[in-house]
Amino acid sequence: TQELVLVSPHINGRELDIETTLEQLKAQVETPNRSVPFIVNDIVPTVNANATAAELGITELISEATTWFYGSSDARKRNISRSAANFYGIVIAPGEEFSYNKYLGTISEDDGYEEGLIIVGGQTIKGIGGGVCQVSTTVFQTVFWAGFPVTERWEHGYMLGYYNDGEGPGMDATVYSPIVDFKFINNTPYHLLIENYYNEEEESITFKFYSTSLGRTVEKSGPVFEDIVPAPGREEDVWTLDEEMEPGTVRQIDWATEGARVTVGRTVYNADGEIILQEDFVSNYIPWPNGYMYGPGVDAPDYSIPLEED
């Protein structure tokens, strides 16, 4: 929408004028009055309460990206929506580094997140907040096409189907606060407004960046696959007992996928067609086996039992 709504009025800062204070102190050294007040100057914020979007350079759409979460559980969908709410209406100043974890905040049931499936320590387990990385991945892809330099980005442990649709492997970004973050720098003279739109019907999340276009163009190369390792066979399937599932039921939670070193290249050109940024995003994905959760009473592995829908 590119509209700005005042959340809180600006507050002037104060800065000690060291040079003037020292000069006055020196002048008082040989007098009976050997004390002087600190000389303080007011600092007016560069963005005040009367600032408009146009004054900040927020005038047009400069980048957008959409990812899909077909087949996600209801809990994962709600976590995506909950997480995305933290990233609506953020304004990034010129030269400022954006940190995903700064805006993500804490992930807990008290904060509105639900239990789902998360990847921890090389395995898929139940945990709070499954789906948060759908949002960070979409942010990364929007940053990619905007041409902003990425200062921190981590891939998932293996290639996830949720992120292979659309841009394909090598275009995901995982986060795990406070250790694993996603960061980029707004290296333009204009402010950047971040908005996003969750579409439950289409099972998609879209991020849009608004600023002033510098005429940049972005080219993507790849993905290039190297060191490919075949997907694990059935003999390596992982079966995990879930005491909370209905007795005698089985649910598939992971699908076997190959491992590989995947490289995606990005070249950013300025308005004159000159290269201003060229980099590779390298992702090392391990091969991943099929994974199943089953309820009490199942003599695992048992492939004869019809799979439960999530």
Confidence check: pLDDT of 121 > 70: no
Check residue 8 and give its pLDDT: 45
Residue 4 has pLDDT above 70, yes or no: no
pLDDT of amino acid 234: 93
How many beta carbons lie within 10 A of that of residue 84, not counting itself?
A: 21
Q: How confident is the model at residue 260 (pLDDT cuts 50, 70, 90)?
A: very high
Looking at per-residue confidence, does 170 or 106 come out higher?
170
Predicted confidence at residue 46, as pLDDT, reads 55
How far, in Å, CA of 73 to CA of 21, rounded? 64
pLDDT for the residue 173: 95
pTM for the model: 0.80
Sorting pLDDT into bands at 50, 70 and 90, what band is 7?
very low
CA distance 180 to 100: 10
Give the model confidence (pLDDT) of 197-232 as tens digits. Answer: 999 999 999 999 999 999 999 999 999 999 999 999
In this predicted structure, the answer to whether residue 262 has a pLDDT above a threshold of 70 is: yes
Q: How many CA atoms lie within 13 A of 74 on its CB side?
A: 2
pLDDT tens figures, 29-60: 777 776 778 788 877 555 545 678 888 999 99
Q: With 60 as the cut, is the pLDDT of residue 10 above it?
A: no
55 vs 87, which has greater pLDDT?
87
- Asked if pLDDT for residue 110 goes beyond 60, the answer is yes
